[in-house]
Amino acid sequence: MTDEQQEITPDAFIAAHEAEVNKRWYPRFHIAPRVGWCNDPNGFAYFGGQYHFFYQYYPYEPKWGPMHWAHATSKDLVHWQRQPVALFPDHPYDADGCFTGSGIEKDGKLYLLYTGHVDLLKKPGQPDRIETQNLAVSVDGIHFEKSEKNPVITLPEGVSTGEDHHFRDPKVWQHEGRYYAVVGAQTADEVGQVLVFESEDLENWQFKHVMAKAHGNQGFMWECPNFAEFDGHEALILSPQGVNPEGKRYLNLHQSVSMLGKMDYESGIFYHDAFHILDHGFDFYAPQVTQTPDGRCVMIGWLAMWESAMPEQADGWSCQMTVPRELHYRKDRLVTPPARELTALRKAAHTMPECILSEETSLGDWSYETGELCADLDLTDAKGVALHFTAGFEDTVSLMVEKESGLVTLSRKSAATGRKEERYAQLPAGEEHLSLRVYEDRSSLEFFLNDGDIVMSTRFYPKTEERVVVLEPQEGTVRMTDGVFYELDDIFA
């Protein structure tokens, strides 16, 4: 740390340097750091009449460093207020980082359960880290005190996590008066697994069982596990590392997936089906869920990917979060449409009359730097359709749908990164109707197809604020109905 960082608080450092951030790509309606770096969502919970959202944060540079917890609150899930940094490394058990964790209300207090990380000098046969699970508690939801009983969860005897001691990212929930926490880990032979612990008071925990474990091509480490309940169903959501590409699947460095199933609380085992990709785009990792007061399950993820180009680092900040998404059960699987609260961000509406398009058409009334595009497309008389977001010849993101095969392709070409890449998803073959909602921010695009049946997210770094939206029928005509582009409000006052 520099002398300045040692002498002032994280919040004072942020206040002193926030004005230095270049805002050319800084989002208007996605949570992002005021200055410095962010990654995994943390502590997502409803407490004291508002949502509390935290994330992994390093304020001192726009790159990963000893992790803090940034904090924002919202009464409606879309308009947010920044709060002081909630956690930072200041104890022996979290000396090198307050890693990912979760939040829960108990007895009128907000509890945060997080991983304390300590780096060790690597020695043969010895771990290179110590990771334990720790508590911090708040009465007002803003100021947190770390428990004198920390660490409250340590690696159970007889359970090996391999030579590197991966044991992190607790997610806590309550069931029939007892508390449960899942923690990501790996086995001695480097296979991803999730451990589940049980408690009556959040302070005294007992190891229950290995809740689930990787098989085949399911990764060497399971990070950021979440137990999700929605529409009468259950899912284990996690971010496996080390899954190998399978054709057009698993093309990102790391993945985020769900497994539908049923939790056996007596045994501590989650009986589940196979991996299902949560977001088929380039940039989605470490999602975290919470329950809304009306019983819905809502998820926010990290809109970035490890070891990828991040041009905004040159501007003094790095990375952002997705918009909130709901979890629902439809057609025997989990789908993730945009959270219904997002409609509260809508301002001016630019409506396009129903039309039939036979050639590449620039939708001039929708050429805004930020906003929400909504449209229904009838592909009966076409072989497919493409939707392009361009900002000059060298900066384009395109969504392409082939009707006969059902193949969906998201491609991006960026002058800022110098790359052209593609990701893929699959609609039912022969699907003639396509419903689109696209959230366009200064440096990101999130595509929701058919009300969340498919979601594809990507970062995007145009050199200019001038955007052009182009719709291109593929060999035929496309009928567009219910076409509208909404300008959106800023989420921070």
C-alpha of 221 from chain center: 18
Architecture of domain 3-336: 5 Propeller (2.115)
Match 């009359």 to its residue by tokens: 353
Q: Which of 40, 395, 441, 453 is catalytic?
A: 40
Is residue 273 part of the annotated active site? The answer reads: no
Query: Is 345-488 the same fold as 3-336?
Result: no
Sheet of 297-302, strands arranged across = 285-291, 297-302, 325-326
CA–CA distance, 222 with 201 (Å, rounded to integer): 26
Spans of all domains in the chain: 3-336, 345-488
Could you write out the DSSP letters of every residue in 39-88? EEEEEEEEETTEEEEEEEEETTSSS--S-EEEEEEESSSSSBEEEEEEE-
pLDDT digits (tens, 9 = 90+) for 241-287: 999 999 999 999 999 999 999 999 999 999 999 999 999 999 999 99
CA–CA distance, 25 with 61 (Å, rounded to integer): 17
Residue 89: asked if its preceding bond is cis (omega within 30°), the reply is no
86 close to 136: Cβ distance less than 8 angstroms: yes
Beta bridge partners of 330: 333
C-alpha pair distances (Å), 217 with each of 26, 169, 203, 282: 37, 22, 36, 20
Mean pLDDT of 189-198: 96
Give the closest residue to 463 by CA, choosing from 398, 399, 414: 414
Residue 1: what pLDDT?
58
The contacts of residue 184 (CB under 8 Å, 6+ apart) are 166, 167, 168, 169, 192, 194, 221, 222, 223, 224, 225, 238
60 close to 101: Cβ distance less than 8 angstroms: no
Q: How confident is the model at residue 41 (pLDDT cuts 50, 70, 90)?
A: very high
Give residue 162's region: left, alpha or beta (phi > 0; psi -120 to 50).
left
Q: How confident is the model at residue 112 (pLDDT cuts 50, 70, 90)?
A: very high
Mean pLDDT of 86-105: 98
Q: Which two tokens stand for residue 151?
A: 């660490």
CATH number of 345-488: 2.60.120.560
Q: How confident is the model at residue 59 (pLDDT cuts 50, 70, 90)?
A: very high
